Structure 1
Amino acid sequence: MSEHIRTQLADGVLTLTLDRADKKNAITQAMYSALSEAVEQARTDDTVRVLLLRAEGDSFSAGNDIGDFIAIGSQTEKPFDMSVFRFLKALADLDKPLVAAVKGRAVGIGLTMLLHCDLVVLAEDALLSVPFVNLALAPEAASSLLLPAVIGHQRAFEMFALGEPLDGKTAVAWGLANRAVPADQVEATAADLAARVAARAPNSLRKTKRLMRDAEGLWALMQREGEAFGSQMKSPEAMEAFMAFTQKRAPDFSKLG
């Protein structure tokens, strides 16, 4: 288990906490491994009725830890060997309710993992973004299907193409979350929803969720996205984007095509 992932089980609710606040909860491959293990075990553990995903600090997640991601990705022949894909499959396969409590920024997979949650509570001033194109990459976590399905093609394309953030109130209005509340009420609201769901008939909930989702289809799409993501990671566009990121400047794609 990664030191940056904490788990706690109480009254049927397994709380998974991203605990890397000093790095805005940017997710490393070690953290993905720990999250994968926790989700996989929870699926077969009858004492777990609901999973609750939350984070320490002022941001839910800054997305992938870029340095860690580039280092490991450059050493991996197949992107599916990276721990992030184990986590994505665990999300696709999960048939127990998943609740999220989100404050601050949710970037990249910090947002796309929310598309696999059944109940999402956002801070009103939370900022959600999917800047894949800004990094010359491609969508992941089946977001190329799920995000347009939730908010419509045009809105989803704008979010992907421009990478601009969406605030919590707008995210709820667009259907990305269930509640937008003041930041100091996010944790309590999410915990209350998780507890209420945990009191419901567990097998009924699992069958309901299975009927609402095509787990095999989601995983198949995640793999196709992974191929596009992997090819982009090694592209001149991505090299320019990553270099610009580390140099804290805007990327220049004018000579690439």
Structure 2
Amino acid sequence: MDIQTQTEQGVLTIQFNRPEKKNAITQSMYQTMADALRAAETDSAVRAILITGQPEIFTAGNDLEDFMKNASSFATSTAVPPVYQFMQALNESSKPVIAAVSGAAVGIGTTLLMHCDLIYLAENAKLSMPFTQLGLCPEFASSMVFQQIVGYQRAAEKLMLGEAFSAQEAMEMGFVNKVLPLAELLPYAQQVAAKLVALPAASIRVTKRLMKANQPAAIQAKMVEENQHFAAMLAAPEAREAFMAFFQKRKPDFSQFN
């Protein structure tokens, strides 16, 4: 299974399990994760959620072949795309969500962290949001949430340039809770999850709701706005040049576009 899910001792673990493709995410993988999060919302046996990957890679982001195959339907289909279902479910989860990240977290691999409650990185983690490098724009409210967390200038640097940044830099800008040696990452995240499970579930839910206040609705509105721009830019010449260059293994040339 490309996504492994397991509920044990009150913790639902969702694990990217496609290492041969650097955990690149397909629409079917998004659907599996969306379904797991929605099921967890009404399952009293689940009191905390842990999202993780492999020691060497969290996720390389969207599987570009699968993404391009489905790209035309994003703007025209009346059905809610699986990626949108997943991010909605993550944003609306009333239960605490922990992310344990090692290796690269590219694109949505970093975006999804903004919708988690606690984020732990291994020392080998490297985050990036290379949307502008692909002729695209931020996704799933990252233009709003990221600057709320780290401040405008730092968010502008990471979102406009799209360059990767280290676990230590993520820690210094206040984006994550803790950076750990790789061998300690998952055990530590599991220990934190166990602490949350041991606390009164209602107290955790109410605390999360109070802290987020009206954020879910604001985030949902920003998701819709960004998605409209993203879909339009996906069909634009700049994105076609970026994706063509990726598949041809060359550097894109954006000088021809205004």
TM above 0.5:
yes
Displacement of 1:162: 1.3
Per-residue CA deviations over 1:83-141 (Å, capped at 9, x if unaligned) read 11111111121110000110000011100101111111101121000000001111112
Per-residue CA deviations over 1:142-164 (Å, capped at 9, x if unaligned) read 11111111111111111111111
Displacement of 1:73: 1.1
Q: Look up the match of 1:248.
A: 249
Q: Look up the match of 2:222.
A: 221
* Aligned 1:75-154 pairs, distance under 5 A: 75-76=73-74, 77-78=76-77, 81-154=80-153
Displacement of 1:58: 1.0
Q: Distance in 2 between matches of 1:156 and 1:78?
A: 32
Q: Distance in 2 between matches of 1:201 and 1:16?
A: 23
Question: Unpaired segments of 5 or more residues in structure 2?
Answer: none
Q: Look up the match of 1:39.
A: 37
Per-residue CA deviations over 1:31-62 (Å, capped at 9, x if unaligned) read 00000000001011111000000112511011
Q: Distance in 2 between matches of 1:120 and 1:255?
A: 40
Q: Percent identity?
A: 44
CA contact (8 A) 1:5 1:16 kept: yes
Q: Distance in 2 between matches of 1:60 and 1:19?
A: 9
CA contact (8 A) 2:16 2:54 kept: yes
Matched pairs, number: 255
Matched, 1:179 2:178: yes
The aligned amino acid for 1:9 is: T
Give the secondary-structure state (helix, strand or coil) at the position aligned to 1:25. coil
Give the secondary-structure state (helix, strand or coil) at the position aligned to 1:88. helix
* Aligned 1:164-203 pairs, distance under 5 A: 164-203=163-202
CA contact (8 A) 2:55 2:182 kept: no
Q: Distance in 2 between matches of 1:79 and 1:211?
A: 33
Q: Distance in 2 between matches of 1:57 and 1:79?
A: 38
* Aligned 1:43-54 pairs, distance under 5 A: 43-54=41-52
Matched, 1:72 2:93: no
Per-residue CA deviations over 1:7-49 (Å, capped at 9, x if unaligned) read 1111110101110011111110000000000000101111100
CA contact (8 A) 2:127 2:167 kept: yes
Q: Look up the match of 2:54.
A: 56
CA contact (8 A) 1:79 1:227 kept: no
Displacement of 1:176: 1.1
Give the secondary-structure state (helix, strand or coil) at the position aligned to 1:81. coil
Displacement of 1:211: 1.7
Distance 1:80 1:222, change over 3 A: farther
